[in-house]
Each structure stands twice: as structure tokens, then as C-alpha cells.
Amino acid sequence: MARFFTRVLIFSFGILLLTSCNSTKNITYFSNVEDTTFYASSIEKQISLKPNDIISVTISSLNAEASAPFNMQNNIVSSSTTLTGSRNEPGGYLINPDGTIDLPILGSVKAAGFTKDQLKDNITNLILSKKLLINPIVDIRYLNYEVTVIGEVARPTVITVPSEKISLLKAIGLAGDLTIYGKRKNVLLIR
């Protein structure tokens, strides 16, 4: 009789052990991918600037002394206090609600509606037409390029992307990856 109970107990424990396991097929990424080679897209679509974007505009030339006045306001770093503590925010130019930025020497320049390349060309043409610099080099970068990752991740967060380019996998990784309950086949990307 004791042997019978031992066998039933071992059998029951074995059934319990098999039913409590989760298949790793449900928690792996790219489980149905046949080829392990991923090709990056060489086409980069630039988005248009809009009001409340913060951009960095750096103007330089062979004559550093002549181009210095164009970059005075751009280097200011502001400090703010939030609920989570204080933080330093890089300075730059906030695009006004009317779509303009105020650049030293050049004054008010329309920025909203242009891509970074279009604004760069516009500022370069303004400098050349006023004969302020010879061969100016204009560099424009987003300072508030952010990605928000929410949902069933370890740390829902807002990620500031300094390189202005991030992959979906990197964003999820920076948020601590999907939890075991996250549905890997149901990820929504909103642009």
C-alpha cells in the first residue's frame, strides 16, 4: 500500500512539474525568423521641425573669431528641479509657437515646417547673402529627441536619444526589457 501511495505521489509531482513550466517559445525574440541577417535601411526620412522642439544650432567657419558671436546663446545649460530631483538640460533654441527661433546676429529665423537639412540650407544662405562669414558650416541637432516606452516593461521610461536614431530593440532594452508577461507578438510603435 505504501508503494502505491509513493507511485501516486511521484506521478502527481511529475504532472505538476510538467504543467507549471512555460514554453521558452513564448518569451524569445525572433523565434520565427529563418535568416539571422538583418539589413539596416539606408533611407533616413527626416522629420519636420515643429513648435516646442529644442534644437542646437552651431555655426562655424575657418575664422573661429568671426563665427564665435553666432554661438553665444547656444551653449547655455539650464538647470531645473522636478519631482524626481534636479537635472541639467542642455541649452539650445526653443522653436517658438509662431515657428521661429531667435539667432544672434541673424535675428528671427523660421524653423517650423523645415527639416534639419532645409533649415541648415536656409541659415547658410542667410549668412552668405548678408556676407557675414565665408564658407559657413551650420550644424543642427535635436536636443529633445525622446522616445517613450510604456507597457509591460521592467522600467517604463522616457529615453532621451542623443544620436537622433534608435531601434525598437534598443528602446525596449533601455527600458529593462519586456517582463515575462509582456506579449512579444503585440508591440505597438507610434510615430
pLDDT values of the chain reduced to their tens digit, one per residue, 191 residues: 777 778 877 877 777 666 655 555 556 666 666 665 666 665 667 889 999 999 999 999 999 898 898 887 655 555 544 445 555 555 789 999 999 999 999 999 999 999 999 999 999 999 999 999 999 999 999 888 889 999 999 999 999 888 888 888 899 999 999 888 888 888 888 87
| DSSP structure class, residue 70 | G
- Residue ranges making up the domain that contains 188: 145-191
Query: In this structure, are strands 157-160 and 146-149 parallel, antiparallel, or unpaired?
Result: antiparallel
Residue 10 domain flag: no
Burial class (CB in 10 A: 0-12, 13-18, 19+), 64: exposed
For residue 36 the three cell numbers come to 539571422
137 and 150 co-located in one domain:
no
d(CA 20, CA 29): 22
Residue 164 domain flag: yes
d(CA 98, CA 190): 26
Residue 25 domain flag: no
d(CA 64, CA 58): 12
d(CA 97, CA 51): 5
Strands, sheet with 54-60, edge to edge from the N-terminal-most edge strand: 93-94, 54-60, 137-142
pTM (2 decimals)? Answer: 0.67
Total tally of structural domains belonging to the chain = 2
Residue 47 domain flag: no
Indicate if the alpha-carbon torsion angle 131, 106, 80, 90 is positive or negative: negative
Residue 74 domain flag: yes
